[in-house]
Amino acid sequence: MWQRIPAFRRFVFESPAAKIAADVMGSSRINFFYDQMFVKEIETPERTPWHQDQPYWAVSGRQVCSVWVPLDPIPKDSSLQFVKGSHNWPAHNPHHFLDDSPYEGTDLPELPNIEAELEEYEILSWDMGPGDCLIFQGMSVHGSPGNISQEHRRRALATRWCGDDARYCLQNGEVAIPTSDPGLVDGDILDCDLFPSLPL
C-alpha cells in the first residue's frame, strides 16, 4: 500500500513505527519490508488460523518483526492471540489462508494443531484501542478469533520491519513476499527500493 497510497507512505517514513521496531529489536538499522491492512467486518465468525509470519517471507534473521496497529477498539475476545514463547520455535510450513492448503516444496514441518490442544499452551491476548501497537517477532505463532463486535469493524495496519541480522533469503518452495523481484541475491542486506532503509 505504501507504494500506491500517500497516507500509508507517510506512516512508513514519518510515524514512530521504524524507531519503535528498531528499539524493541535492539537494532542499529532498520529496513521497511511491507505493509498489510486487515479488516474483519462486524460479527465476522471466521478466525485467522494459527501461523508464523516469517516462513511466508524471503527473509532470514531474528531481528524481523511486525508492528500491528489497530484502527478500532478491539476487545480481547477479538484481538490477536499469541502462543507464549513460540518466537523460539523453528519455522513451520505456511498454509494458504483462502483454502488452508499447504505451501509446496518448503520441506518444513507442519505446525502443531494449536486449536485442538489449547490447554497445552499459554495464550496471550489484550484489549486494544486505536493507536496502540503490538510488536512481535516473525516466528511468533499467532492467530485471532472472528470479530464478535456488533458495533465496530476490526481494522488493523501491520507493518513489517527488518534489523541488523536480517538478510534476503531464497527459500525452498513457495514464498508469499516479495511478490516481485527486489534485485537482491541470497544473503544480501535488504537495502533496495522495495525494502528501503530508514534513518533512526
Query: Which pLDDT band, with edges at 50, 70 and 90, does 162 fall under?
Result: very high
Q: Are 33 and 193 in contact (CB under 8 A)?
A: no
Does the model's pTM come out above 0.75?
yes
Q: What is the mean pLDDT of residues 150-173?
A: 95
DSSP 102-134: BPSS--PPPPP-TGGGGGGS-EE---B-TT--E
Domain ranges of the chain: 6-192
Work out the number of other CB atoms within 10 angstroms of the CB of residue 87: 18
DSSP letter (8 states) at residue 155: E
Say if residue 171's pLDDT is above 90.
Answer: no
pLDDT above 70: percentage of residues in the chain: 100
Question: Tens digits of per-residue pLDDT, 26-41?
Answer: 999 999 999 999 999 9
DSSP 183: S
Residue 137 scores a pLDDT above 90: yes
Grid coordinates of 141: 505463532
User: Residue holding cell 534473521?
Assistant: 61
**CATH class (in words) of the domain with range 6-192:** mainly beta
68 residue type, one letter: W
Pairwise pLDDT comparison (164 vs 98), residue with the higher score: 164
Contact 160, 20 (CB under 8 A): no
Q: Cα dihedral sign for 18, 158, 102, 79?
A: positive
List the beta bridge partners of residue 66. Answer: 136, 160
